[in-house]
Chain A
């Protein structure tokens, strides 16, 4: 690995350490500073990491869609941009799906206690599920549609179509859901201890996502360079 590579992975490890610090502080704040919620009791504490993951999942998927746009617009003219945008697309989609798993596991756990059922077709829940499924399809494309220009282009196209799709899905499930349980945090967090725990969780999950995306991105860039070297060897041998 050359000096640049070492510097790039050092950023990744640095981010990981900072994220670990924030997550430890968030756990402390969640369990020892934030008071117990009057109605829901201890189960409400899932909320801090649940919402933290959900917010970051949407941020990460948003970046994936932007990377798709860059890939299909500027990437058509400049090869190097295309490679970077493509690597960002893979990294963000994989991390986003991981966050989606966290959201979809913590959500039902909380729903069981708060609403008495594992799953309700509540609009926000349904939207999360649909976005998650959309990016699982994205990963399936990356895995099985080939890593050539065709496969990369179709995956980028899907991530872009995701933007209008999320808007329409949001509207449709909102109306379709009909009467749904009032989401508990609508009123906002008034208690300062809760707000601190919430802020730390969101920031911690954000840093963790950033670290994971960065590490995945550098790996993908290495893979791209290796591929290029293989092609070069083939060319010289042939």
Chain B
């Protein structure tokens, strides 16, 4: 029970700071919207074909904008070595990690709501299976959030964290992107023979296994 209170306290702290400054939300949302515009100029030659590349655009935008946000996630913890203060508090390292990951996933989802609506409008996509569409994004964001938060924390003090973070996380994100693109394609009615349920289960499995491994690793990595 105490751990739950500590977890909620850290999540509340992050959300409050963010809603007062809007640093991450404002910058990542704007970045994502600009990406969508660029993609429109780069790909939108034949609107009839938008169902072919629409899923890819959704996921590349999600991936890039989330990475930009993850790079900023531990900015406040870096100042005055506040991450050590958090770790010295009675909260277990896994509680600190899960709280930061929760905040990250919340920021990413908030940023994606206007972004994805804009993609649907700009590329004239119709969601035929809203449950699968939202499910893939939710499960995918949990996966990105867990892995990204782990490495964002570890690379917090690195001079080259901006480039190192995607270098490290993108190979691990490849299965998430594959699964996400497949489900999104089915959900917008693209003519492919795929069972979205298999890929949603796959994403859920990814989330579960990586939740266990990243939580176990975080405590050891900060102590190593």
Contacts and interface: CB of A to CB of B under 8 A. Distances in A.
A152 B158 CA distance: 12
Contact of B175 (A82, A145, A150, A171): A171
A212 interface: no
B224 A75 contact: yes
Nearest to A146: B158
A153 B167 contact: no
B221 A72 contact: yes
A145 B174 contact: no
B147 A161 contact: yes
B154 interface: yes
A164 B217 CA distance: 13
Contacts of A165: 171-172, 175
A151 B158 contact: yes
A62 interface: no
A151 B172 CA distance: 19
A196 B93 CA distance: 54
Given A146-B158, A172-B178, A134 B172 contact: yes
Interface string A152-179: 1110111011001100110111011000
Interface in B114-157: 147, 150-151, 154-155, 157
Given A134-B171, A154-B151, A157-B221, A140 B164 contact: yes
B39 interface: no
A172 B174 CA distance: 9
| Chain A contact residues: helix, strand, loop or mixed | helix
B220 A141 contact: no
A72 B220 contact: yes
| Chain B contact residues: helix, strand, loop or mixed | helix
A73 interface: yes
Nearest to A149: B224
B174 A158 contact: no
Contacts of A161: 147, 172, 210, 213-214, 217
Interface residues of B, number: 33
Contact of A71 (B157, B158, B224): B224
Nearest to B192: A178
B210 A164 contact: yes
A172 B220 contact: no
Given A76-B224, A160-B213, A130 B158 contact: no
A158 B210 CA distance: 12
A189 interface: no
B224 A172 contact: no
Interface in A20-66: none
A146 to B, nearest CB: 6
Contacts of A154: 151, 154-155, 168, 221
Given A161-B147, A172-B202, 17 more contacts: A71-B224, A72-B217, A73-B220, A76-B220, A133-B171, A137-B167, A144-B158, A144-B159, A145-B160, A150-B157, A153-B224, A160-B217, A161-B214, A161-B217, A164-B209, A168-B206, A171-B202
21 contacts: A72-B220, A72-B224, A82-B224, A130-B174, A134-B172, A137-B167, A137-B168, A137-B171, A141-B168, A144-B158, A145-B155, A145-B158, A145-B160, A154-B155, A156-B221, A157-B150, A161-B172, A165-B175, A168-B175, A169-B175, A176-B178
In order of increasing CB-CB distance, the 6 nearest A-B pairs are A153-B224, A154-B154, A172-B175, A168-B175, A134-B171, A172-B178
